[in-house]
Structures are given as C-alpha cells and as structure tokens.
C-alpha cells in the first residue's frame, strides 16, 4: 500500500465525526480543535477533558455508540475507540458516502492516515512511514521539534503580511521566485531567532524593496522591532 500526502482544509464547514471517548480520542480531538475543526464526538463515555470541551461548547457530543447513518452530514471521520463490528460498519458507511475515514491502527478499514505532525505557527510538517514503523516517525518528529523553532513561525507571519503586497507589486513571476529564494536563504530567520527583528526587516527591505516593505508593514510595527 502506498500513501499520498495531502492536507485537509475547511474542517469547520462540516463536522468531523469522531468515534470514541478514551485517551486516544481525547488526544485526537485536541489535535483537530487546534486545526479549527468542528468536532462531533459519538461515544457513551468521554474523558474529563472532552467533557470540559463539551460544556465549553467546543465540541458536540452524542452520548451513545455509533449507529449507521451517523455519518450523513460528516466531512471527515475518525474512529479512535471501537469494536471491530463498529469499525467495519463505519468504514462501509464512509465509503458509501465518499468520505475520508481513518480507523486508527487499522489501515485496511481506512482510506486515509495520520502522519506525525510538527507545527510551528503556520508551518506544518507531517511524517509518515506508510504504517511500517510508526515509532520511527515519532523519533523523527522529536528530532524536528528541536530543529524547527519559533523563528520559522515568525518568518511565516512576516511572509503572510508581505505576500499580498508582493503579489500586487508588478514583479514578474521569475523575479518573485528569485526574491523568495533569496529571502528564505538570507539571514532573516537566524536574526529572528536571536530577537533581531529590526535587522531582519532591514534585510527584508533590501531584498524586496523599501517601498514594498513599508507599504506592507505599519510604521508602528517597524518601530517596535
């Protein structure tokens, strides 16, 4: 079996149906909420943390076992705690409705899989060993968490601020591409890592042009650098 990596968006449009209420279901719920998902848990019992999220209105909860038809309005399905009969029924329903489903720790009943995720602000990295050695993915994740620090997230915040102005600047595609690589390869990220935001902005202005940077970044932000 081969795995093709893809990222899901708009998880707030339709509910993510999550089957189960154990510790693994809690962990997955926490991850989904962090990505802005609308989570609907179906389980007789849920953990204390999940119940707290329910009371706070962060998740929906149907306190019973899954029934065929529960996936009618779903956008994505996760089975975190299940009997084999429940997993098979949910998998069949998901496939009938053309839904992505992950039956955790059961690749044959799944048509999607989770990778080990490293996040730093808007930066998201996902690792997969195609189900062959999940422990290796965990170890690689731990290594990357040390290497991918907050400076990368701060760089992406800056990129998010500049990008609309860059795209409307009149630079042709080849020139934009060259400047993106020049900027990424510059000392901006190390400078942000060391708290030297003003110098990072000065280098950014040298690469993209002072007028562009001044247009994108309010004077108050520059002054606070």
Domain spans in the chain, listed from the N-terminal domain onward: 1-114, 150-223
pLDDT band at 179 (very low <50, low <70, confident <90, very high): very high
- Between strands 123-127 and 116-120, the pairing is antiparallel
- Which residues, 6+ apart, have CB-to-CB distance to 101 below 8 Å? 76, 77, 78, 79, 90, 91, 94, 95, 109, 110, 111, 112
b or e along 177-188 (b: 16 or more beta carbons within 10 Å of the residue's beta carbon)?
A: eebeeebeeeeb
pLDDT in tens, 192-224: 999 999 999 999 999 999 999 999 986 534 444
pLDDT score at 219: 53
Q: If one looks up domain 1-114 in CATH, what number appears? A: 3.40.50.720
pLDDT score at 12: 95
Residue 124 has pLDDT above 70, yes or no: yes
Average pLDDT over the chain, rounded to an integer: 93
CB 137 within 8 A of CB 126: no
């Amino acid at each position: 079996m081969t795995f093709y990596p893809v990222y899901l968006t708009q998880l707030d449009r339709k509910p993510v149906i999550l089957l189960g209420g154990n510790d693994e279901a809690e962990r997955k719920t926490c991850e989904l909420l962090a990505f802005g998902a609308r989570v609907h848990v179906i389980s007789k019992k849920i953990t204390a943390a999940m119940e707290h999220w329910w009371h706070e209105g962060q998740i929906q909860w149907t306190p019973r076992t899954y029934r065929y038809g529960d996936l009618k309005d779903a956008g994505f399905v996760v089975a975190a705690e299940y009997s084999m009969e429940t997993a098979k029924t949910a998998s069949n329903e998901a496939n009938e409705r053309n839904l992505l489903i992950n039956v955790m720790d059961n690749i044959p009943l799944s048509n999607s899989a989770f990778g080990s995720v490293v996040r730093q602000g808007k930066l998201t990295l996902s690792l997969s060993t195609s189900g062959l050695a999940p422990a290796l993915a965990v170890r690689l994740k731990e290594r990357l968490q040390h290497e991918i620090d907050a400076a990368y997230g701060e760089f992406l915040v800056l990129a998010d601020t500049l990008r609309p102005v860059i795209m409307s600047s009149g630079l042709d595609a080849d020139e934009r591409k060259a400047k993106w690589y020049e900027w990424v390869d510059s000392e901006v990220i190390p400078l942000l890592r060391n708290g030297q935001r003003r110098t990072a902005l000065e280098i950014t202005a040298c690469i993209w042009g002072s007028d562009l940077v001044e247009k994108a970044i309010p004077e108050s932000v520059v002054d606070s650098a």
